[in-house]
Amino acid sequence: MAAPKVKPLILHATGLEPAELLGQLIEESHQHVCQTDGHEYAKEVRVSESILKDPGGFLGDPLLTILGTFDFCVKWNFTSSNEKTRVLESLEAELRGRSFTDSLVRDVALVADELFTNAVFNAPVAGRAHLKPVSRKQKSVAMKKGQFGQISIAADSSRLVLCCSDPYGSLDPQSYLTRIQLGFENGAGASIVDQGGGAGIGAFLVFNLCCSLFIGVWPGRATKICCVFPLKKSGRQRAMLKKHIHCIQL
Amino acid sequence: MAFGIESNRIGDTLLVHIQGKIDEDSNFRALDVDGCSSVILDLEKITAINSVGTREWIKWIKCVPSTLKLVIRKCPKNIVDQINMVSGFLPTGAIVESFYVPYFAEASGEEKMVLFNSGKEFRGGDIYPPPAIVDSTGASMEMDVIEAKYFRFLKNA
């Protein structure tokens, strides 16, 4: 009797558009999809192999796992929605001070905005059906005492990585990925949620702007989402890159 | 730059300037369009728009009566991206009078935003780019977009 086919944990692909790429994780259960026509394919594969050997290492220090060595690393801790302006303005100033292009700074800042919002507003209530979505108009939403989220950035010569972590570990990767996929399949407009908490297109905007997405979840303990942005490329070149995607769960 | 909306009337046209970041803190007040036949939205000074801002924008723009002529002027790239990505970002019949197109110089790495105007750099769904865009060194700059995607909203207008 032939042995059942085992799905590779790293899928090496070429030319997949975002919806198809996401389908490989959602429907085919690959953990990593690296595209040969994506940014720094070989490095992306090495990172995937490293994560498969030590997923806890990624969740402990995702920037170190993704980049290995970096030219700089800056971190901002936050405990409430009130700190969003402070964190994002500081992040933008840091990037502009390092002479990254205006278009890249704007893209990174928007992704940071969406991830911050997710960490503060969505993460505390995700998977808890009895809790209502938190209105984005609510003046102040705070994490519990002793808990904090973190935005961090680091870069080497060819990649800038933005990471956002929260202390809840409540993200459901399947739901998150499916929501992004729907945005690409049906258009973002169809995904907008009129009432309640978020608008429903934040994850779509995040994946649209980065060239590689890492989703790491340690249930009940931490969620870490990392976005990779290619350096030394024009906006058009960045937009043309095929994407990589990774899903890590402890 | 803090979010703000300022409007003033010129004849039967309401000219509205929107500035700053459009997000969950943006307070979109209703426009007083009594006696107006058209509304012009000048978006040049919008610096950013996030997902919640997009939702708030759509709710607000839906309140502009469909009987009025709605003109959008000086759309920055982030707004053009939303127009292309999010159906309903602009109501049916809204006219884009001008928008910015990013240019990039490979050698210097410089970026520049160039204003495209209706009737000059675009007519209907067709693009007529300016002949020569140069950076601070005089080197030629190229359009820094995937044209089929960036100009898609013009084909759909």
pLDDT in tens, B70-84: 999 999 999 999 999
Find, in chain A, the residue whose alpha carbon is nearest to that of B145.
Answer: A236
B156 vs B19, more confident: B19
Give me the total of CB pairs closer than 8 Å, taking one residue from chain A and one from chain B.
80
**pLDDT class for A250, splitting at 50, 70, 90?**
confident
Distance CA B148, CA B128 (A): 14
**pLDDT class for A142, splitting at 50, 70, 90?**
confident
Cβ atoms within 10 Å of A138's Cβ, excluding its own = 11
Residue A146: what pLDDT? Answer: 85
**Nearest CA to CA, how far is A219 from chain B (Å)?**
26
Q: Out of B54, B144, B149, whose CB is closest to A201?
A: B54
| Among the ranges given (A157-166, A185-194, B56-65), the one the predictor scored with the smallest mean pLDDT | A185-194
Q: B149 vs A102: CB contact, 8 Å cut-off?
A: no
Distance CA A54, CA A134 (A): 35
Query: Rounded mean pLDDT of chain A?
Result: 89
Q: Report residue A239 CA to chain centroid gap.
A: 17
**Nearest CA to CA, how far is B68 from chain A (Å)?**
23
Q: Across residues B91-102, what is the average pLDDT?
A: 96
Q: What angle do CA A190, B56, A163 make, to 5 degrees?
A: 80
All residues of chain B having their beta carbon less than 8 Å from the beta carbon of residue A114 are 50-51
Residue A186: what pLDDT? Answer: 82
Residue A201: what pLDDT? Answer: 86
Q: Out of A114, A235, A240, whose CB is closest to B50?
A: A114
All residues of chain B having their beta carbon less than 8 Å from the beta carbon of residue A194 are 55, 59
* A237: pLDDT strictly greater than 60: yes
Residue A135: burial class (beta carbons within 10 Å; 0-12, 13-18, 19+): middle
Residue with tokens 């720094």: A40
Residue A4: what pLDDT? Answer: 55
Q: B86 vs A188: CB contact, 8 Å cut-off?
A: yes
Per residue in A61-88, pLDDT tens? Answer: 999 999 999 999 999 999 999 999 999 9
All residues of chain B having their beta carbon less than 8 Å from the beta carbon of residue A110 are 48, 50, 78
Q: Report residue A186 CA to chain centroid gap.
A: 21
Q: A117 vs B145: CB contact, 8 Å cut-off?
A: no
- Whether the CB-CB separation of A207 and A213 falls below 8 Å is answered with yes
All residues of chain B having their beta carbon less than 8 Å from the beta carbon of residue A188 are 85-87
Six token digits for residue A140: 């102040």
Per residue in A169-184, pLDDT tens? Answer: 999 999 899 989 988 8
Report the predicted TM-score, pTM, of the whole model to 2 decimal places. Answer: 0.93
Per residue in B26-40, pLDDT tens? Answer: 989 888 898 999 999
Residue with tokens 């790491």: A216
Distance CA B4, CA A135 (A): 21
Find, in chain A, the residue whose alpha carbon is nearest to that of B78.
Answer: A106
Residue B129: what pLDDT? Answer: 96
Query: Residues A31, A35, A40, A44: what is their CA dihedral angle, to the nearest 10 degrees?
Result: 10
Residue A134: what pLDDT? Answer: 63
Q: B50 vs A208: CB contact, 8 Å cut-off?
A: no
Distance CA A110, CA A91 (A): 11
Find, in chain A, the residue whose alpha carbon is nearest to that of B83.
Answer: A189
| Among the ranges given (A37-46, A188-197, A224-233), the one the predictor scored with the smallest mean pLDDT | A188-197
All residues of chain B having their beta carbon less than 8 Å from the beta carbon of residue A240 are 146
Per residue in A157-169, pLDDT tens? Answer: 999 999 999 999 9
